[in-house]
A and B are shown apart, each in its own frame.
Chain A
Amino acid sequence: MPADLDELLTGLGRAADTIPLAGAEQARRRGRQRTHRQAAFSAALAVCLVAVGVGAVVSRPRHDADRTISPTPSSRVLTEVGSPVDTGGPASSVGQAVGDGKLFSAWTTPGGEMRLNAADLHTGAVLWTFTEQAAGAVTDVRALPDAVMVRVERSVAFYDPATGSPIRRFRVGDADELISYGKVMVRRWASNGEVVASDVRTGQPVWSDTANPAARLLADGDRLIQVTEAGKILVRDAAKGTLLRTITPAGPPGTQYVVAGGRLFTETIPCCDTAAYRVVSSDLTTGKSEVILSGGPAKFAGMDACGTNRICVLDAGPAGAGRVTAVDVVSHRQLWRKAAPDNASAISASGENVLVGGPGAETVLLLAADGSSAFRTPDTSVGWLGTDALLMMPATAAGSVMTFRIPDRQLTRLGDIPRRIGPCVNTADRLACPTDDSLRLWSLTG
């Protein structure tokens, strides 16, 4: 046993110094690849999978027989809506958002331009296009009530959703948070935790809080939740900044947060990664905060609200096996506990249905309200299509788009889509994806 912690740390540094590195030339080559096809493909994959909640990142052919429930899929034609929008070469980054019947797409061209357009979601017709020089990748696109927000690296710009005309722009830090509430945008400055709300269109400050450095911001309808560096929870009227309540949570907030049913749920780990976790529920109206689940020696992986007054928690149990536990947040009663797919690391719920999967998981599992296994699929990208259906497709490779209707367990093959270079967005009846050289829009309802 070594005699001194400092010696051990010094030894760790020395060990790190012996790690062979591939060199600058290979880093540049890898950077170029990222900029062009394959690496942009990889970067988009991560964003895509996070966006849909869960997806098994397993690149392998689809086998419908792998599904535990494998009704013969009925086939329909995946109808293209409008004409493909030429991206002017392989886009190095793409972001899309839907709002007010329009699809807003921002992408960067190989020539270093950022293009933003709006298309009618019903017809696919392009309504306007705006082009400007950009330095960097599009990292965020949001359709706000009065503006389209596009973030290119550290530059955030607002555009008129009716015409595409620029409204204003400002710089942000990499870790700054932005939450929009109608006409107000709330920003957390990562550098000092300051929270400032400003008018989306004019940039005029509306209110600010410099006294309670925030570690995290969350939205709950019209309310803003500030998790402070000191571990308090402040609930504000987001538009006016009025402090509605200050909550001292039953345990120090962890890293994952779920806001549902007027409550904030967070995990708290008393000392270290492997210690027993607890899930704390804080009522944002009454301020009551309590531990609703103690995870024993299991390792916390994630959670989501899975119905009224219910939270579903994914963890790795004592033997390392994944499991999902549903808890009634009022009575703290455990409703059910079920095994998760091996290596599951992500959980997402819609209504009382729960999807469990994540990178490394062999399958994505759908659990019904009573915890029973309702569907299992090897598909690489699985997301919600409303509350009662799933939308499935290969992560980014060309392949079939399928839906699974939960109430009657109807599996439908809609048709094939080409390889994609970034995340798709969808509504109940439309699917928009960036492909190698164009933006495409399909109807999910035929």
Chain B
Amino acid sequence: MTATDDFDDFYRDTSRRLARYAYGLTGDATEAQDLVQEAYARAWQRWRRLAGYENPEAWLRLVVSRLATDRWRQLGVRRSRLRNAPAPPPAPPPSENTVLLVKAMQTLPAIHRRALALHYLLDRSVSEIAAETGTSTGTVKSWLSRGRAGLAAALGPVPAKEESHDAR
């Protein structure tokens, strides 16, 4: 199998999850498209090494996290796409509920959004999130709890479920 085949398989297997993650962080479909492509472009640049990583998908998420929170780079990415490549087809319009949730997520600190995206959109356990973010499980539980509370507050009278975030 060539490096290209290998990379394409990796893209096929992981890009949907990365799009979920990027969308969770940014709440913007176009931006998520951009971030995903930029992350994979960077992955292809160093594919020979990255392919040997224990968890190359976590590396992609790190790139997306940095791009999403770094406004300098974020703008650079957008300009780069505009110059270099045709935009992919637009995403279908989000539902009213998604719009509400996205607006609510924008009120949260970036680290809470990241934890929520990993836990609820990628189904990562608390311990997995702790490992990926280099922090303790207690901190992750706090992020998730405060993130949900922040969402509930921003959304108004939504009966958010009480949930315990046990390390899985």
Q: How near does chain B come to A56, taking the closest CB pair, in angstroms?
A: 11
- Of A9, A20, A272, the residue contacting B116 (CB under 8 A) is A9
- Give chain B's interface residue range (CB within 8 Å of chain A): 35 or more
Q: Which of B94-111 contact A (CB under 8 A)?
A: 94-95, 97-98, 100-102, 106-110
**How many angstroms from the CA of A43 to the CA of B67 in the assembled complex?**
11
**How many angstroms from the CA of A272 to the CA of B106 in the assembled complex?**
9
**How many angstroms from the CA of A274 to the CA of B146 in the assembled complex?**
15
Q: Does A31 contact B (CB under 8 A)?
A: yes
| Contact indicator B23/A15 (Cβ below 8 Å) | yes
Interface pick from A22-30, A200-208, A364-372: A22-30
| Contact indicator A5/B151 (Cβ below 8 Å) | yes
| Contact indicator A229/B120 (Cβ below 8 Å) | no
When distances are taken between beta carbons in the complex, the residues of chain A under 8 Å from B37 are 21-22, 26-27, 30
Q: Does B64 contact A (CB under 8 A)?
A: no
When distances are taken between beta carbons in the complex, the residues of chain B under 8 Å from A59 are 79
- Known contacts A12-B121, A34-B42; is-contact A19 B19 (Cβ 8 Å): yes
Q: Does B148 contact A (CB under 8 A)?
A: yes
**How many angstroms from the CA of A174 to the CA of B53 in the assembled complex?**
13
Q: Does B160 contact A (CB under 8 A)?
A: yes
When distances are taken between beta carbons in the complex, the residues of chain A under 8 Å from B38 are 30
Of all chain B residues, the one with the shortest Cβ separation from A154 is B49
Q: Does A297 contact B (CB under 8 A)?
A: no
| Contact indicator A2/B100 (Cβ below 8 Å) | yes
| Contact indicator A5/B97 (Cβ below 8 Å) | no
Number of interface residues of A (CB under 8 A): 65
Q: Does A39 contact B (CB under 8 A)?
A: yes
| Contact indicator A42/B11 (Cβ below 8 Å) | no
Interface pick from A143-151, A161-169, A187-195, A414-422: A187-195
| Contact indicator B109/A12 (Cβ below 8 Å) | no
Q: Does B126 contact A (CB under 8 A)?
A: no
Q: Does A11 contact B (CB under 8 A)?
A: yes
When distances are taken between beta carbons in the complex, the residues of chain A under 8 Å from B7 are 24, 28
| Contact indicator A16/B32 (Cβ below 8 Å) | yes
| Contact indicator B12/A24 (Cβ below 8 Å) | yes
- Known contacts A8-B97, A13-B120, A229-B136; is-contact A19 B76 (Cβ 8 Å): no
When distances are taken between beta carbons in the complex, the residues of chain A under 8 Å from B23 are 12, 15-16, 19
When distances are taken between beta carbons in the complex, the residues of chain A under 8 Å from B150 are 271-272
| Contact indicator A229/B139 (Cβ below 8 Å) | yes
Q: Which of A258-285 contact B (CB under 8 A)?
A: 269, 271-274
**How many angstroms from the CA of A9 to the CA of B155 in the assembled complex?**
12
Q: Which of A222-267 contact B (CB under 8 A)?
A: 229
When distances are taken between beta carbons in the complex, the residues of chain A under 8 Å from B11 are 23-24, 27
Q: Using an 8 Å CB-CB cutoff, how does the interface string of A326-337 with B read, 1 for contact, 0 for none? A: 000000000000
**How many angstroms from the CA of A193 to the CA of B133 in the assembled complex?**
11
Of all chain A residues, the one with the shortest Cβ separation from B28 is A19
**How many angstroms from the CA of A30 to the CA of B41 in the assembled complex?**
5
| Contact indicator B159/A27 (Cβ below 8 Å) | no
Q: Using an 8 Å CB-CB cutoff, how does the interface string of B109-142 with A read, 1 for contact, 0 for none? A: 1101000100011000000000000111001000
Q: Which of B38-80 contact A (CB under 8 A)?
A: 38, 40-46, 48-49, 59, 62, 70-73, 75-77, 79-80
| Contact indicator A2/B109 (Cβ below 8 Å) | no
- Of B45, B75, B108, the residue contacting A31 (CB under 8 A) is B45
Q: How near does chain B come to A374, taking the closest CB pair, in angstroms?
A: 25
When distances are taken between beta carbons in the complex, the residues of chain B under 8 Å from A26 are 37, 85
- Known contacts A3-B159, A5-B158, A359-B72; is-contact A27 B44 (Cβ 8 Å): yes
Interface pick from A44-52, A82-90, A348-356: A44-52
Q: How near does chain B come to A97, taking the closest CB pair, in angstroms?
A: 20
When distances are taken between beta carbons in the complex, the residues of chain B under 8 Å from A23 are 11
Of all chain A residues, the one with the shortest Cβ separation from B83 is A38
| Contact indicator A4/B158 (Cβ below 8 Å) | yes
- Known contacts A24-B12, A27-B11; is-contact A193 B121 (Cβ 8 Å): no
**How many angstroms from the CA of A58 to the CA of B73 in the assembled complex?**
14
Q: Does B91 contact A (CB under 8 A)?
A: yes
Q: How near does chain B come to A348, taking the closest CB pair, in angstroms?
A: 13
- Known contacts A57-B75, A229-B139; is-contact A20 B41 (Cβ 8 Å): no
Q: Does B33 contact A (CB under 8 A)?
A: yes
- Ranked 9 nearest A-B pairs via Cβ: A31-B44, A27-B40, A24-B11, A30-B41, A16-B23, A31-B41, A16-B20, A24-B8, A359-B75
9 sample A-B contacts, Cβ–Cβ < 8 Å, listed by A number: A4-B160, A5-B155, A16-B22, A18-B92, A20-B88, A30-B40, A30-B44, A57-B72, A213-B136
Known: A33-B41, A175-B62, A175-B134. 10 other contacts (CB 8 A): A9-B116, A15-B29, A27-B44, A31-B45, A34-B41, A50-B72, A57-B75, A174-B59, A174-B62, A229-B139
